[in-house]
Chains A and B, each alone.
Chain A
Amino acid sequence: NAGVMQNPRHLVRRRGQEARLRCSPMKGHSHVYWYRQLPEEGLKFMVYLQKENIIDESGMPKERFSAEFPKEGPSILRIQQVVRGDSAAYFCASSRDGNEQFFGPGTRLTVL
C-alpha cells in the first residue's frame, strides 16, 4: 500500500512564476491537508480538503494561493506569482477519516 506521494520533491522558480505542487493521498483516504514548514520551525496548517470541496482554508493566504482536490487525480496546491518569502517545504498529509494523518515526503520550493 503506497504512502502519500508528493511531486516534485524539489522545485525552483523565479520570482513571478507559478508553482504547482501535487499530492496523491494514500489509497482509501479522502481527506487531504497542506502544511508549510520553514527551516527550524513547526508545520503551519494551510488548507484542508475533501474530494471536490475545500473544508477549511483559514491558514492559506487569500492572495496568490489556491488548492483543489478534484474527483479524479491528485490534490494541487498552486502558488501564483511566487515571491522569495514563499520558499519553504510544503507537506501534504492524508487521512481516511480526519483522525490519523500520514505525511508525504514534501516539496521543497526555492524561489530565486
Chain B
Amino acid sequence: GQQLNQSPQSMFIQEGEDVSMNCTSSSIFNTWLWYKQDPGEGPVLLIALYKAGELTSNGRLTAQFGITRKDSFLNISASIPSDVGIYFCAGRISGTYKYIFGTGTRLKVLA
C-alpha cells in the first residue's frame, strides 16, 4: 500500500531557531495537508497545498508542494515554545478522496 515517509521523527531545537520537516512517497498526490496535533486533541489544519510547486505561508509556517508531486516540506521560522507538538503531513491519493498520513515529526522547543 501507499506509504508516506516523514522525517525527522523527532527534533529538539532552541527557541528562535528555524525548523524544517518533509514527507516523501513513491506515490503521486494531488493535495498535501499539514497538521499539528497537541496531546489529547485532534489534529489542527495548518496549511493546504493543491498544485505542484505551490509555496504557501501561514504566519511563521511555510509549506511547499514538491514539483514531482511525491513530496512536500514544512518550515517553521523563529520557533517558540508553543510550537511544541506533533506535525503530520497528509497526501491525497491522485484520483481519490483518500488521504494517507505521515508518521509524524515530534517537535520539542527548548526555551
Residue numbers of A with Cβ under 8 A of B are 4, 6, 31, 33, 35, 41-45, 48, 55-56, 58, 91, 95, 98-106
Contacts and interface: CB of A to CB of B under 8 A. Distances in A.
B33 A101 contact: yes
B interface secondary structure, majority: strand
A42 B42 CA distance: 12
B38 to A, nearest CB: 11
Given A56-B96, A100-B48, A106 B101 contact: no
Contact of A48 (B6, B31, B44, B97): B97
Contacts of B103: 41-42
Interface class of chain A by DSSP? strand
Given A91-B42, A100-B33, A104-B42, A45 B50 contact: no
Nearest to A59: B98
Interface in B66-97: 88, 90, 92, 96-97
Interface residues of B, number: 23
A45 B45 contact: no
A105 B37 CA distance: 10
B43 interface: yes
Contacts of A106: 41-42
Most buried by A among B35, B96, B97: B97
B97 A31 contact: yes
A42 B102 contact: yes
A45 B99 contact: yes
Contact of A105 (B42, B92, B98, B101): B42
A105 to B, nearest CB: 5
B13 interface: no
B88 A43 contact: yes
B28 interface: no
B52 interface: no
Given A48-B98, A100-B33, A43 B41 contact: no
A55 B43 CA distance: 23
